[in-house]
Amino acid sequence: MSVWDALVGQGPVVDTLQRAISGQAHAMTHAWLFTGPAGSGRSVAASAFAAGLQCAQGGCGVCQACLTARAGTHPDVTVVRTEQLSIGVDEVRDLVRRAAMSPTLGRWQTLIIEDADRMTERGADALLKAIEEPADRTVWMLCAPTADDVVVTVRSRSRHVGLVTPSQAAVVQLLTGEGVAPDQAEFAARVSQGHIGRARALATKPEAAQRRRDILALPAQLTGLGPCLKAAAWAVTTAQAEAQAATAPLDAAEQDKLAAVLATSSGKAARGMAGQMKDLEEQQALRLKRFVRDRLDSVLGELTSYYRDVLVVQMSAQAGLVNQDCGPSIREVAQTTTAEATIGRIDAIVECRRAMMSNVAPQLAFEALMVSLA
């Protein structure tokens, strides 16, 4: 079980990283940019690379260095995994200070920024200086959906590693290797379209599979204004409930930690802590908002795949349906509407996603969407 086994269907990426680790001429550099579609494994690749650099065997997967690097407890592997909407200049400066330190265990000082696309402009500036004059044993690993999501000055000084959407066969192999029954793995790999985390959730969590069915049942329910508003309200309240369930334990742990610090300080320091508690609550509110948006984005993903299937039937294309289990409903919609209308509906989903990105209230964006889909 080497660290590379986790990189499903990414042969060329594994080759590149292994060459860098083995120290081949010009194969190593101080800044790397990992890009790829959601679920392709950008942060998994960065983490494997970090482990490979710390491991005496280049990523055996079983030694202390590999295990701690991947668990996030290795002293020379720093992982920035933000739940917040942005990574600010103060956070980047902390990293830059750490990057300047010699590695504790003598190999590499590695820093992984999982959402480099969320760096503020000032944050990116602070990072740029560190990348331009890197410490000898320091390696930066930035992850982002595409190279365009990272400011050009940082991008141009980083070596680009592009992950691809893994094939369905590769995802099936991964899931069956993890003990999922073959037909279940086949189904999950197909409907998740190469998103590994999503495939794993669908294959192993009944509530994830149920939620997908609920979303795909929406189009058939949109028979008038009332049902459209009801569908929008359902999508938003479900996303909020899911986001709250996911963030509440994190919120509580963070507040307890800060309260413990507050309890041991007194006077002036304690007054400063009250401000910190307020800052924390603001950050937590932003995180909740982001979780809600992520959940709603996955609803849009499901609806897109549904109408893509409708279009496949309407165009009599040879491609198979992604959502085979919804075949009857998809064929009925296909027969009672036109391909032009379907394209209009897919456009409406794109428009909804754009509205959400520009901070339109989710409820409004989804109401407009459901009316367009009806």
Binding site for Zn ion (CB under 5 A): 55, 60, 63, 66
Q: How far is the CB of 66 from Zn ion (least distance, A)?
A: 3
CB-based contacts of 63, cutoff 8 Å, min separation 6: 55, 56, 57
Phi and psi angles of residue 91, each rounded to the nearest 5 degrees, phi first: -65, -40
| Edge-first strand listing for the sheet containing 109-113 | 77-80, 109-113, 138-144, 31-35, 159-162
Q: How far is the CB of 49 from Zn ion (least distance, A)?
A: 13
Q: How far is the CB of 59 from Zn ion (least distance, A)?
A: 6
Q: How far is the CB of 288 from Zn ion (least distance, A)?
A: 38
Which is closer to Zn ion, CB of 74 or CB of 195?
74
Token pair 């980083």: residue: 158
Which is closer to Zn ion, CB of 63 or CB of 220?
63
Q: What is the CA radius of gyration of the chain?
A: 23
Q: How far is the CB of 108 from Zn ion (least distance, A)?
A: 13
Which is closer to Zn ion, CB of 66 or CB of 203?
66
Which is closer to Zn ion, CB of 61 or CB of 123?
61
Which is closer to Zn ion, CB of 4 or CB of 291?
4
Beta-carbon count within 10 A of 74 CB? 23
Closest CA to 14 of 46, 38, 39, 36: 46
Which is closer to Zn ion, CB of 66 or CB of 232?
66
Which is closer to Zn ion, CB of 52 or CB of 123?
52
Which tokens is 267 given?
A: 């006077």
Q: How far is the CB of 65 from Zn ion (least distance, A)?
A: 5
Looking at beta carbons, which residue is closest to Zn ion? 55
Q: How far apart are CA 107 and CA 96, in angstroms?
A: 18
Which tokens is 205 given?
A: 């969590």
Q: How far is the CB of 23 from Zn ion (least distance, A)?
A: 16
Closest CA to 150 of 53, 298, 31: 31
> Would you say 222 and 228 are in contact if contact means Cβ atoms under 8 Å apart?
yes
CB-based contacts of 147, cutoff 8 Å, min separation 6: 33, 35, 155, 160
